[in-house]
Amino acid sequence: MDGLTKKAYELRRDIIEEVYRSGAGHVGGDLSVIDILTVLYYEVMNVSPENWRDGNRDRFLLSKGHCVDALYMVLGDRGFFDKQEAIETFSAFGSRFIGHPNTAVPGIEMNSGSLGHGLALGVGMALAARMDQKSYRTYVVLGDGEMAEGSNYEAMMAAAHYRLDNLCAVVDLNRLQISGPTGQVMDSSDLGEKFKSFGWNVIPVADGNHCGQLTEAFREAAAFRGRPSVLLACTVKGKGVSFMEDQKGWHHGVMSREQYETAVRELEVALA
Amino acid sequence: MNTERITNRQVICDTLLKAAQKDRDIVVVCSDSRGSASLGPFAERYPEQFVEMGIAEQNLVTVSAGLASCGKKVFAASPASFLAARSYEQAKVDVAYSEVNVTLIGISGGVSYGALGMTHHSCQDIAAMAALPGMRVYFPSDRFQTAKLIDALLGDEKPAYVRVSRSATEDVYDEKTDFVLNRAGVLRKGRDAVIVACGEMVPYAAEAARLLEEQGIDAGVVDMYCLKPLDQETLLWHARNVRLLVTVEEHSVFGGLGSLVSQVICRENPMKVLQLALPDEHLVGGTNREIFHHYGLDGEGIARAVKAALI
Ligand SMILES: Cc1ncc(C[n+]2csc(CCOP(=O)(O)OP(=O)(O)O)c2C)c(N)n1
Ligand SMILES: [Mg+2]
């Protein structure tokens, strides 16, 4: 196991702890997106607690905001705040660690949670970078169910129109949403064709839970000039915990004590 | 006592299931929301009368209007936060203005989603929907009233917005309680004050009235589930008999029950109105009950405020 992969598995363990304690959260989507977040925050993006107020920092938006549980663990681990506080107070009364990204938490750029806002926010941030001749890049992570929101297509069109090569979207293609398989709820299986026809540079990532493949894809996106890039990351919802993998019920399922113990054990084995 | 904790959304599903047995024109439309709307059983039993739009609330509302324009009786269910905010223009133009037979069901309204935070709260839906010409606005309290309301709405062809809460609401009526559409429910009459409430606040208002009674204060309780058209007659009858009128709502202080009631009271029977509602700020995170308690929107909080206002 390389360093990034190990980190992603450690963060999975933190997520399980956080979600189990609170009886809240969106564990399935957390586990599918955690590798993407790990690679972004530990390998790709220029953002840290030190440069967090600096206008040149890279920008990140979790458009699928319901998976903030995963983002909290990454930000806490990177030192934006005390990770343990997030684990212990996630979703509790009065806690700033509520169930969607909010700017009361250091490291969170914008409030989100209503799906279909992140990509357009990213277009604005990428346009501002150009206006101010800044070299920061903007990253937006979307869900595949979320891609049914029409606002995404307005943002896609604008990003291509303005040739925003400083904008990089990632779709967490786990093929599931609340009601079931995305292909049955609202089919977005040809997302690659859609992005391409809107003028985007499309980078498929065969295993979106593979840190090496993700790192490579982000490099390719950063080097691409003249058009925005999108990573279509084929992931597994619930990745890393066998009984959660590819099960729609774990979108926001709550673990029993036994399930929690099994999940922790499986992750420990993977880490050993 | 709602011991089985039956939610109003389940009751809506049951009512629609019953009605669909005899009526092929009833159509339910969802936006990846069938689970949270408790409409899964409808989707399973009547797949030809169920349309899934995916996570696309604007499309949900406009497609519903198109269906209704062709004679379908449409019930479109999605979280109130998205239905009444994101799809607002669709509700305004395609549903209310064109006056089609669409009932918008705003599920998990108010602060039902608790710690999911401000994106998921809908504390402006009543204000927004009430401002649309042609849109009726309802926020039923218990399961019996909810079933009767949906039955009544099945009987006409005009647009309506119905907000329901996520958790089960305590019973305040029973099967036999009379229901007349657009007529407020009266839980008790009072000589000192009257508490006008809607939705999940109605059982809390009743609890407040009990607490006040122990302290020698006689407070009436009116269930104004019909926010638009507001039942002015019942409101004024109660207002004229008391010193203090209190409104209680799971909604912003702006444009909800308190505002709608005050408008009538100012015009017809000027008197003091104490408005208990959610403040104009980013709300604290927690469960809906914790949030209610924090802002004084529970039996104890209401009783305390009423007593203080009467002194
Ligand atoms: C505008 C809006 N509509 C509905 C929801 C409720 N919701 C939260 S998560 C979700 C499903 C998301 O599925 P997907 O985008 O595939 O995310 P993932 O599988 O990664 O969890 C829905 C419908 C929402 N948050 N915002
Ligand atoms: Mg998905």
> Could you give the strand order of the β-sheet that contains A138-143, starting from the edge strand earlier in sequence?
A59-62, A138-143, A167-173, A229-234, A201-205
Of B133, B163, B193, the residue that ends a domain is B163
| B300 part of a folded domain | yes
Pocket lining: A66 vs ligand 1, CB cutoff 6 Å: yes
Q: What is the pLDDT of residues A69-80, one digit of tens each?
A: 999 999 999 999
Q: Are residue B198 and residue B295 in the same domain, yes or no?
A: yes
Q: Are residue B149 and residue B46 in the same domain, yes or no?
A: yes
CATH value at residue B107: 3.40.50.970
Of B163, B195, B222, the residue that ends a domain is B163
Partner A contacted by B186 (CB < 8 A): no
CB contact under 8 A, A150 and B120: no
List CB contacts (< 8 A) between B58 and chain A.
150
| B19 part of a folded domain | yes
Domain count for chain B: 2
Peptide bond into B140 cis (omega under 30): no
pLDDT at B1: 80
Among chain B residues, the shortest Cα distance to A115 is held by B55
List CB contacts (< 8 A) between B32 and chain A.
145, 148, 177-179, 185-186
Partner B contacted by A144 (CB < 8 A): no
Token couple for A190:
């040809």
Band of the pLDDT at B130, cuts 50, 70, 90?
Answer: very high
Q: Are residue B156 and residue B231 in the same domain, yes or no?
A: no
Range of the domain at B141: 8-163
CATH value at residue B291: 3.40.50.920
Partner A contacted by B271 (CB < 8 A): no
Chain B residues 115-134 with CB within 8 Å of chain A: 115-120
- Evaluate if residue A189 carries a pLDDT over 90: no
| B196 part of a folded domain | yes
Cβ-contact B34, B56 below 8 angstroms: no
Q: Are residue B217 and residue B306 in the same domain, yes or no?
A: yes
- Evaluate if residue A205 carries a pLDDT over 90: yes
Cβ contacts below 8 Å, chain A against chain B, sum to 90
Overall pTM surpassing 0.80 (yes/no): yes
| B21 part of a folded domain | yes
Q: What is the pLDDT of residues B136-147, one digit of tens each?
A: 999 999 999 999
| B168 part of a folded domain | no
Which range has the worst mean pLDDT, A163-172, A182-191, B72-81? Answer: A182-191
Q: What is the ipTM of this complex?
A: 0.96
Q: Which CATH number fits domain A3-271: 3.40.50.970, 3.60.9.10, 1.25.40.10, 3.30.379.10?
A: 3.40.50.970
Residues B74-96, mean pLDDT to the nearest whole number: 98
| B172 part of a folded domain | no
Q: In angstroms, rounded to a whole number, what is the distance separating the alpha carbons of residues A132 and A143?
A: 30
Domain spans in chain A, listed from the N-terminal domain onward? 3-271
Q: Who among A66, A95, A116 is closest to B285 (CB)?
A: A95
- Quickly tell me which residue has 């609340």 as its tokens: A178
User: How do beta strands B226-228 and A167-173 pair?
Assistant: unpaired
| B1 part of a folded domain | no
Pocket lining: A146 vs ligand 1, CB cutoff 6 Å: yes
Band of the pLDDT at A188, cuts 50, 70, 90?
Answer: confident
Q: Are residue B196 and residue B232 in the same domain, yes or no?
A: yes
Q: Are residue B13 and residue B146 in the same domain, yes or no?
A: yes
In eight-state DSSP terms, residue A43 is I
Taking Cα atoms as reference points, which of A204, A235, A88, A66 lies closest to residue A146?
A: A66
